[in-house]
Amino acid sequence: MSRFRLRLLTSGFPLLVVGIGLLLSTGCATSGGEGRDRIRTLYMVTTPVAMNLDDTPGVDGIGVNLFAFGAGAKAVPLPAGSVEFAAYDAIGILANPPRAFHTWTFEVAELKRFRTQAAIGEGYRLLLNWSPKLLLSSRLALVCRFRPETGAEVVSEPGFIAALGEPGR
């Protein structure tokens, strides 16, 4: 055996190769229904401004596309559980604890009729209407929470929506 080969064998090089191999081959193993099908990230695409969804003047809703991601790169349908959207206005966000202006709660089974297909995978397209409440702020923050039947709750990053026009109309 050559000196170079002997030096590689005694220098810890094989241990390094085995360690890198183990790191590259490990996956995520969890139990209790939290394996590959577990939702890890929620991604919302909202309308940039609030909309008038009825015949009465003034904004009273927003549009949102919701996408859920597990271990893969494509968005997937949500498993059984519930989805809550909470909108915070400038007044409620400053309360301690923050108080939502309006919330919408859906069982995942209810959302099936709102399914949509996009380049990033399957998602849900919704119009969220807060009428007859009057928005007294010029901005909203929207957060989505998915509560699966088993496993941990997943919360989206907030989406920010401008409410153009006169507040309270």
Q: What is the pLDDT of residues 113-131, one digit of tens each?
A: 999 999 999 999 999 999 9
Q: With respect to residue 169, please indicate whether it lies within any of the assigned structural domains.
A: no
Is residue 9 assigned to a domain? Answer: no
Q: Which of 126, 121, 120 is nearest to 108 (CA)?
A: 126
For residue 81, being part of any structural domain is answered with: yes
Q: Is the residue at 94 inside a domain?
A: yes
22 pLDDT higher than 80 = no
Task: Return the HEC string of 152-163.
Answer: CCEECCCEEEEC
* 58 within 8 A of 134, measured Cβ to Cβ: yes
**For residue 27, is it within any domain?**
no
Residue 55 has pLDDT above 90, yes or no: no
Counting the structural domains of the chain, the total is 1
Neighbour-count burial of 132, counting CB atoms closer than 10 A to its CB (0-12 exposed, 13-18 middle, 19+ buried): exposed
Would you mind telling me the total number of residues written for the chain in this entry? 169
pTM of the model: 0.76
Rounded mean pLDDT of the chain?
Answer: 81
pLDDT of 7 reads 45
State the pLDDT at residue 111.
97
pLDDT value at 109 more than 80: yes
- Mention every residue, 6+ apart, whose C-beta is less than 8 A from residue 94: none
The answer, yes or no, to whether residue 12 has pLDDT greater than 80, is: no
* CA–CA gap between residue 24 and residue 165 (Å, rounded): 54
Name the residue range of residue 79's domain: 32-162
Q: Is residue 26 part of a domain?
A: no
Within-domain flag for 146: yes
- The reply to whether 7 falls in a domain is no
CATH number at residue 52: 2.60.40.1930
Our CA angle for 146, 150, 155, nearest 5°, is 20
Residue whose tokens read 């153009």: 164
Separation between Cα atoms, residue 69 and residue 125, nearest integer Å: 16
